[in-house]
Structure 1
Amino acid sequence: MSSSTRSDVSPGPQIRNTPGAFPSTPGELDPVVSSQHSLSKAVYERRAEYTVPRKIRIKVGTWNVAALPGTEEDIGSWFVDGKGISESLSNLSFENIGTTDGDDLEDAGHQEARRSKKRPTVPSNDPGLVPGGDDIGLYVLGLQEIIDVSSATEALKPYNDPWPGRRWKQSVEDALPEGYTKVAEQQLIGLFLLIYAAPRVAPTVSSVSTASTGTGLMGYLGNKGAVVARLVLGETTRLVFINCHLAAGVEKGNLERRNWDASQVLSRAKFDPLYNGAGEKEETGENIGDEDFAFWFGDLNYRLEGMPGDDVRRLLMLHTKNEYGQGGPSKRKISAELALESNPKPIDPADDTDRKSRIYRHNHHFHYRSSPETPATSLYSDKLDPSSDPASLQTTLESLLPHDQLHQQMRTRKAFCDGWREGPIDFLPTYKYDVGSVGMFDSSEKKRGPSWCDRILYRTRKDKLAYEEKTKAEEAAKKRDEEMRSHGIGDPAVNQEEVLFDYDPATDGDDHDYDPDADVEDPEGVTTAAGFEDKIHLEYYTSHQRVLSSDHKPLDAIFTLQYEAVDLDLKAKVHQEVARELDKAENERRPTVTVVVDYHHDHEGESGSSSGTEGVDFGSVRFDSPKMRTVTLANTGGVPATVGFTDRIVTADKTEGVAPPWLHLRFDRSSDKDHPASEPHQVYTVEPGDAVNVEMTLHVKDIELVRALNEGHANLQDVLVLRIHNGRDHFLPIHATWLPSSFGRSIGNLVKVPEGGVRRSQDGRQDSQGKT
């Protein structure tokens, strides 16, 4: 699918098709959708009758694979099977899943030694510690750097290279249980988003729309940005998934650029229009923020701020060291770095970096072991709670998280503040490790400081609305404060009693600060856009520390979603009921008119009445001798009927008037002043139980018509069309028998008239005896 973005400025045609760029015109995203019948609307209005509670697990995974070969070999192990988690380096409880057997699970040293690009790098005999397989209803995978985005050649390509995406897609599909269906896919250069649904879930997924937003080079190219997808689950619940890769770097300008990237994704990403079950286009649904549940994940690139990266590395390696046995390259590297503390290099007074590091370690009480031979302190003491144990991993993480840039930006409302939240971080930073290592943080010359670059955030409609309400309240309180100051509050020259009288402290805004780190219980009764009550619960949020094929550790979260979904069998039943009800109601509302023909007594003895289905029979008709019949149009229905005769169709491209020239129609009342625009002739409204009479007069006096009738070239037969507005038409046959006349005949024909008069002649010719 082509990229979709929003902006007030559109670039030139040379870059318009570049992945992540702007669409050529806003209208190219609007599909042509036909209007739906009232039946669909009526069924949609009864949707509460055919929805049932459903519960599924959604697994969201994110991984920066750094364009390294062999990473796709690990995707099934950690993302589908839940393998590669280190129990000792995670504070999660896995009691419901089971724990690993220390004797069978491969140790970290052996795991690193046998690493290969052609097979999974997770430890052998790993049973998997988090749910996976067919327990998951939706698998949502966000990958970053499936190609080298640092390459200008790749970043400036005006198209996406499909080959890496196909390779990853094949790896995922090979690992998934049988029957899972891909419901969404989107790529932007190195960003790749895949969503797969279980066999029981896939048929309920609809309104899928994907888009890309590039925020990289020049603000729109796709080396940075996001790929997004929206889908509707069970015809009721809207989900949005955002896989992003924001600006990298540790400088202040890089932080501001990350915030800008995030704001661009929110403002420019646009989905296809959303239509409800009645086929009506909804006013919302095309933007991020219109959904019921949103998930934002990827390499957000936020770092730990205000901390010497080298000290953080060493502090964390105190914990990762215990993951190894006695040997192995990583174990020796970690021990060697930690041993430097017992033999520090001579202090250089001119080295400001060294001075800041010493001050920071002193202020934060960082103490490293004196030698690699010193026995390792247990991460979790038998006598101390981990939160109280200064040597525990939990205490270490709690000391680092206040320096996390993402949390700081959320707290100061500079980014991700409008309802976004995150599960507890009980795992080591996911970046940056030596490739092929379980716990060796960057040992290159740069020695990059560890950070939680990879994150998974989520938000409900309730979260977003609560933030918006809070913001409005604060703005109102601020406005009141400004008005108070304008009245001179605090100015002795102003009568304070008069000013205070206008101020109501009970209506003042809430003064509590927004705290994204506060414990927020999972929402109870999140009201969706469709009006249903859904719930979401975060079960697990953890990294897979023992996946070795990238310098980032993969991260996933498992959510349990309870929602109302359409039951197709119940919907079909309601559809049938509604169809019958609408048909009955339509018939009751349809005007019903009965046509009755009343015959007049005449000298030939014709009398009586008949149904209009037999038509109007004028009997025998002579020249210039009018005959009259009366037709009664009775409203036998329950609603007013608007009636009138309409043009008769002669051929496909020709019509005649409402009646032939030899027939005159007269109603016994005045016509409606206002009549339907579709009816060019006079119409008459008849109330239920009422009737209108139509007097029909047949009068043949045109000599040309008489001549044609005498010669058998014409007849007195026709069909009138009685139009019932919003009802069915009635076709009323008209017929009469012509009595030949001497009028309209030539002298030559008249001298040959047989005995008995012209009516004895046949077609104006001499009879069989040849009498004249």
Structure 2
Amino acid sequence: MSSTKSSRPTSTSSSLMQEVVNALPGGYPESIQPPTSNQQSLSQAVYSRRSEYTKPKNIKIKVGTWNAAAYKGAEKDIAWFVDGKGIAEGLTDLTVEDESESQDDAASQDRSSLDDREGVEDQEARYKKKKSTLPKNDPGLLPGGEDIGLYLLGLQEIVDVNSAAEALRPYTDPSVGQKWKREMEAHLPRGYKFVAEQQLIGMLLLIYASPDVAADIKSVSTTSVGTGLMGYMGNKGAVTARIVLGETTRLVFVNAHLAAGTDKGAVERRNWDYGQVMSRTKFEPISDSMGLSQNIGEGIDDADFAFFVGDLNYRLEGIPGEDVRRLLMLHTRNEYDLSKKQGKKVDKEIARNQASIERRRENRTSTDSGVSQVSTVRSREDDDVQDEDIDAEEALDAVDDPASLHTTLSSLLPHDELHQQQKARKAFQGWQEGPITFLPTYKYDAGSVGVFDSSEKRRAPSWCDRILWRTRRDMLSYESTIAEEEESKRKDEEMKNNGMDEAAKDEEMLYDYDPDEDADESGSYDEYDDAPPGTVITKEGFADEISLEAYVAHQRVLSSDHKPLDAIFSFKYDAVVPELKSKIHQEVARELDRAENEGRPNVTVVVDRPHSNEEGISDDDPLKFEGVWFGEVRYAMHKHRSLTVANTGQVPATVYFIDRPVGPGQHPGTSPSWVSMKIDDGTGKLSSDLSKRTLEPGQAFNVELELRILDVSLARQFNEGIKSMEDILVLRVENGRDHFIPLRGTWLESSLGHSISKLIRIPEGGIRKLQRQRPDSSKSTASAGSAIDDETPVKWSAPRELFRLTEVIEELTIRVTAEWGMLHDPSTQPPPWERFAGWPFVPQSWTCKDDKERHDRLADIAEALDTDVSFASVFPSDISHIEKLESLAEFFIMFLSAMDQGIVTKEIWTQLDAGLIKQEKSKLPQSAEEQRTWAQEILSSAPSHSISFILITSMLDRIISETITAITHNHPALLTKCPPPATFLVTIPQNLRKKNWAKDGKEAWRQGVGRALASTFYGAMIRGGEEEGQKDKEKAAGRERKVRFLELFSL
């Protein structure tokens, strides 16, 4: 068990006040002068109205990456990126989302012209270096040109990075980058603006924007990180850029070239490169909305949207290259005329790889423990064996064709190192990627559409080139998951350090937690709780949206051994409208001038002092507390306090209560959960509306504060010291200073919510006596933790509270049933036990219907129990015995329901339930006496729980006997109705009503009363039995077994 002290709140009202002072505008103490900078106040006020001068914009962002492999003239093929050319439809599953109607028409026309596009054979036949290799008459299948608002292109190896002269060059040669810029600008639509570039040896980053988007771009910053030779040279690493779009949204673009190689340590080196890029990238500080610059520049993790592209060099792991080449070229061969030279070359390479596969098979010994995973893939091609890894819902048309490209790619992707490293959380944590529906982008014979490396090295195909993205929402979600896991590990370590690891094993099934599958989404509030899917809340508080429309390789680009890759995103962001901002600026300036001329509003808050004769109130408070002092607070006790808010200034004052700062576990809102607030505007009617109110000079209103702790879980937290009865209210005065009103009370510990193992340690005098014996009890006004711990000696065989409650309920039941005929005319006023089965424990049967009166009685009963005084002494003198009994019955049910671990614990019920199920299936069922004996043996494993169980069931048996005897004596004709009428059984849930009744009327009525009481008590006494995911039928059967189990001991 974790220490209560470790979870106790450490913040006080004074510390909370300081938090508000630091966190909220205008929240300054009287001794500190308000800010005097008019310019800062003006900028701040304008920024607070940003929603009035921003408007949403929707654009498309095209992100591309290509390893040009230092091939001369590769820049001539730049139209693949700008115009969407060079796509082989048969080798990708291309779909473009959210196209407009006009785009649909254009796309339809483009596809109709594909018949005019140059064939693969002719394209390859004219391949020459320094010339464009794109197919002639290619209309382009992706949106491009003016449809794109922002172009982001990352290139790698625009120079030969394997050359020592280039790798060790002390500076970057800009001439090659200028060639690419010229070609890019020649293909872009007229008017597109250059935004940023960054080059590091062979890596080049280019950003261009349409004229209207370019006008929204500010705070452009670029930088480089080298991770190559010695961990710092620029042959490997990344070039990055940061832009701020519309003064609202941070975009970061990373163009990376990570470590190559297929040896054992290559993957770890790639992961290391990624970590270096993420940690070492720093941008120039951003000038904020008030014209102030940051002290420290931001990094990649500060982006609202980040794109990470490039030749990441992750390979296909654990799969022979010959198998992959042959398998993929079975698909690329469909692009060729096999009667021509190029087609024959593809068939030749397929045969060459097949021969290599056959040699490997022949060399494989009979002791091989496994079969090549790609052999299984090949058998799909040859034997039409359906791929078991394909999800039938995702495969769509490919599901009927095990040899389809979709099936092939799906069989290879589990071997992708990048996916493996992401899953292992070693790199690219929280980043996402579009579905890969295209062939691996590396390595091809330059000048070919679909011939994979035919050189002597015959490198295995891989998806080396990738485009990933991450939103601020993705990053926060990942960080939240990690924090939850770390907290879980920390708690586990604490338990081990406290010697509780063995005890934890017994509760493993109770507390087993897998953050990936069991993470609770309903925890504390998060800024995305109300945001629709796809929406990202930026650092500046705006709601932006992003969605992937296309992710495709350009297979018919021939000028490199890599195929280029691009992605198109639909992007919505809020942009500042300069004209509107200027208008708002003028309005705010006028408002500030007028406020300065007219003066600041002044409001006075007066805390009405409580009467000194009220319980728990002392005028001799040693702290001379100036806030709202509730005095001693106990369960269900009603407390009332009031505040007066008056405008004592010369100008109207607009005031309202704002959300106060809260710590972990605290209830958010204007007030703590244990206080309710209502306002009296002078009309005599109280209102829960805490919205803004404007007071003219001399006007005032009252704030009524009500305190009554009825939530047992909240009482338990006060008992354990998890929550403190110390908080604040914050009254905001517009254009004035905030008022901080401390709240404080002393919590009197209650026996409610404690487990039996703690209750049996409470001595005579009750838990309150134990609390006052604690040495520090007089030094703190807040709850300091339970007065009971494992070192407190055991005093009783079962909780004394149960002895007292069962005894007084039995006595009052006998007395009430005996005196009814003397105080009432049964013929005109039948007693409640004749009208409602389950009296006095069911609400339908209660005489008192007034909630406030009932709550006052519950408070009195709890106080009698906690101070060990007689129940009779706390009831008003004019209350009848039946009302006392019903109040005690209501409290008793609540007491049992709140009891930690219950009377029958989850562990014990698991054994009992298993036995009951076994007996249900048995052909030789046990008698009731045999079942009771069996159950008592299991219950006896926890003696104090067993004795408590017998106390309660004996009381129920006595109540059943007394009520049936009273009916027999006063109204025997009722017992002739068999079964009892439905109006009598209305207190029993429909699904728990008996189906088989005794033939004897008296016995049937006894069964009805017993069933009603068991239906009322099973949930209060028994824990466990209903698991998440259980079907309704199983849950209903489990409840029926609990009811029948209680009936064993009460009938």
- TM-score under structure 2 normalisation? 0.48
Query: Matches of residues 598-609 of structure 1 in structure 2 within 5 Å?
Result: none
Query: Counterpart of 1:402 in structure 2: which amino acid?
Result: P
Q: Which amino acid aligns with 2:137?
A: N
2:338 to 326, 350, 354: 326
> Equivalent of 1:177, from 189, 204, 212?
189
* Aligned with residue 44 of structure 2, among 24, 41, 48: 41
Matched, 1:555 2:557: no
Matched position secondary structure for 1:397: helix
Q: CA deviation at 1:131?
A: 0.5
CA contact (8 A) 2:323 2:378 kept: no
**Residues 140/309 of structure 1: CA separation in 2 closer, same or farther (3 Å cut):** same
In 2, are the aligned partners of 1:341 and 1:368 still within 8 Å (CA)? no
Query: Residue 164 of structure 1 corresponds to which residue in structure 2?
Result: 176
- Give distance in 1, aligned partners of 2:146 and 2:551: 19
Question: In structure 2, how many angstroms separate the alpha carbons of the residues matched to 1:467 and 1:136?
Answer: 31
**Quick check: 1:456 aligned with 2:460?**
no
Query: Deviation at 1:85?
Result: 0.5
Structure with greater strand share of residues:
1
CA distance change for structure 1 residues 230 and 344 in 2, over 3 Å: closer, same or farther? closer
2:63 aligned partner: 60
- Which position in structure 2 is the counterpart of 1:538? 548
In structure 2, relative to structure 1, the CA distance for the partners of 1:264 and 1:117 (3 Å cut) is same
The reply to whether residue 207 of structure 1 matches residue 209 of structure 2 is: no
> Deviation string for 1:135-191 (max 9, x for gaps)?
101000000011110011111111110101111111100110001111111111110
Deviation at 1:292, TM superposition (A): 0.5
User: Is 1:510 the equivalent of 2:522?
Assistant: no
Q: Which deviations, in whole Å up to 9, do the C-alpha atoms of 1:183-231 show, x marking residues without a partner? A: 1111111100010010111111001101000000000010000000001
1:194 paired residue number: 206
Question: Structure 1 residues 275 and 479, CA, compared in 2 at 3 Å: closer, same or farther?
Answer: same
Maintained 8 Å contact 1:107/1:123: yes
Q: Residues 538 and 343 (structure 1 numbering): CA distance in 2 closer, same or farther, change over 3 Å?
A: closer
Q: CA RMSD in A?
A: 3.2
Matching residue of 1:106:
118
> Which amino acid is 1:66 matched to?
A
User: Residue 122 of structure 1: SS of its match in structure 2?
Assistant: coil
Q: 1:308 is matched with which residue?
A: 320
Indicate the structure whose relative CO is greater, using CA pairs within 8 Å and at least 6 residues apart: 1
Letter in 2 for 1:512: E
Amino acid across the alignment from 1:52: K
Give the match for residue 525 of structure 1. Answer: 535
Structure 2 Cα separation of the partners of residues 325 and 363 of structure 1:
29
Which structure has the bigger radius of gyration? 1
1:428 aligned residue: 439
Query: For 1:714-725, what aligned pairs fall within 5 Å after superposition?
Result: none
Change in CA separation of 1:553 and 1:67 when aligned onto 2, cut-off 3 Å:
same
- Is 1:73 equivalent to 2:80 in the alignment? no
Cα distance in 2 for partners of 1:345, 1:420 equals 37
Distance across 1 between alignment mates of 2:587 and 2:259: 56
Which of the two has greater helix per residue?
Answer: 2
Equivalent residue, structure 2, for 1:754: none
Q: Show the counterpart of 2:84.
A: 82
Residue aligned with 2:218, SS: strand
- 1:469-522, Cα deviation, whole Å (9 max, x unpaired): 11111111122223334455574xx7x89x96xx995795625399xxxxxx99
For 1:456, the aligned partner's letter is I
* CA drift at 1:569: 1.4
Contact 1:540–1:558 (Cα < 8 Å) also in 2 = yes
Report 1:79-478 matches (<5 A).
79-93=81-95, 96=104, 97-98=107-108, 99-282=111-294, 286-340=298-352, 347=359, 359-366=372-379, 385-417=397-429, 419-478=430-489
CA contact (8 A) 1:285 1:291 kept: no
Q: Secondary structure at the match of 1:103?
A: helix
Report the Cα distance in structure 1 between the residues aligned to 2:112 and 2:128, rounded to whole angstroms: 23
Aligned to 2:767: none
Partner of 1:693 in structure 2? Answer: none
Letter in 2 for 1:195: I
Task: Give, in whole Å, the separation in 2 of the partners of 1:488 and 1:365.
Answer: 55
Question: Structure 1 residues 255, 111: CA separation in 2 closer, same or farther (over 3 Å shift)?
Answer: same
Q: 1:490 to 1:586 in 2, by over 3 A?
A: closer
Deviation at 1:248, TM superposition (A): 0.4
Distance, in Å, in 2 between the alignment partners of 1:116 and 1:268 is: 41
Task: Give the 3-state SS of the residue equivalent to 2:252 in structure 1.
Answer: strand
Deviations 1:19-60 (A, max 9, x none): xxxxxxxxxxxxxxx996543333222212101111111000
Tell me by how many angstroms 1:526 deviates.
1.2
Contact 2:92 2:437 in 1 (8 A): yes
SS of 1:512's equivalent in the other structure is helix
Deviation at 1:280, TM superposition (A): 2.7
Alpha-carbon distance between aligned partners in 1 of 2:418 and 2:89, rounded to the nearest angstrom = 26
> How do residues 624-643 of structure 1 correspond to structure 2 at under 5 angstroms?
none
Partner residue in 2 for 1:643:
none
**Aligned partners of 1:116 and 1:394: how far apart in 2?**
33
Shift of 1:347: 4.2
- C-alpha deviation, 1:584, in angstroms: 3.0
Q: Does the CA contact (< 8 Å) of 2:258 and 2:274 recur in 1?
A: yes
- 1:548 maps to amino acid: L
CA distance in 2, matches of 1:209, 1:583: 37
Query: Secondary structure of 2:133's match?
Result: coil
| Shift in CA distance, 412/369, structure 1 to aligned 2, threshold 3 Å | closer
Structure 2: runs of 5 or more not aligned: 1-36, 384-394, 520-530, 601-648, 652-1051
Q: Verify the 8 A CA contact 2:61 2:150 in the aligned structure 1.
A: yes
SS at match of 1:413: coil
Amino acid at match of 2:73: G
Distance 1:267 1:356 in 2: 43
Instruction: Give the drift of 1:283.
Output: 7.1
Is the contact between residue 473 and residue 509 of structure 1 (CA under 8 Å) also seen in structure 2? Answer: no
Whole-angstrom CA distance in 2 between matches of 1:345 and 1:86? 28
**Residue pairs, 1:586-735, within 5 angstroms:** 586-588=596-598
The offset of 1:465, in angstroms, is: 0.3
Q: Aligned partner of 1:441: which letter?
A: F
- TM-score w.r.t. length of structure 1: 0.65
Deviations 1:626-656 (A, max 9, x none): xxxxxxxxxxx989xxxxxxxxxxxxxxxxx
2:476 maps to amino acid:
L
User: What is the total number of aligned residue pairs between the two structures?
Assistant: 534
What displacement does 1:251 show? Answer: 1.0
The aligned residue for residue 740 of structure 1 is none
Cα distance in 2 for residues equivalent to 1:486 and 1:577: 62
C-alpha distance 170-341 of structure 1, shift in aligned 2 (>3 A): closer
Tell me which amino acid in the other structure corresponds to 2:449: V
Q: SS where residue 271 of structure 2 aligns?
A: helix
Is the 1:73–1:117 Cα contact (8 Å) retained in structure 2?
no
Amino acid at match of 1:110: D
Alpha-carbon distance change, 204 to 451 in structure 1, aligned in 2, over 3 angstroms: same
| Partners of 1:36 and 1:279 within 8 A in 2 | no
Question: How far apart, CA to CA, are the structure 1 residues paired with 2:67 and 2:244?
Answer: 28
Find the aligned partners of 2:371 and 2:195 in 1 and give their Cα distance.
54
**Counterpart-to-counterpart distance in 2, 1:483 and 1:350:** 57
CA distance in 1, matches of 2:359, 2:81: 47
Output the CA distance in 2 between the equivalents of 1:436 and 1:551. 8
Contact 2:381 2:402 in 1 (8 A): no
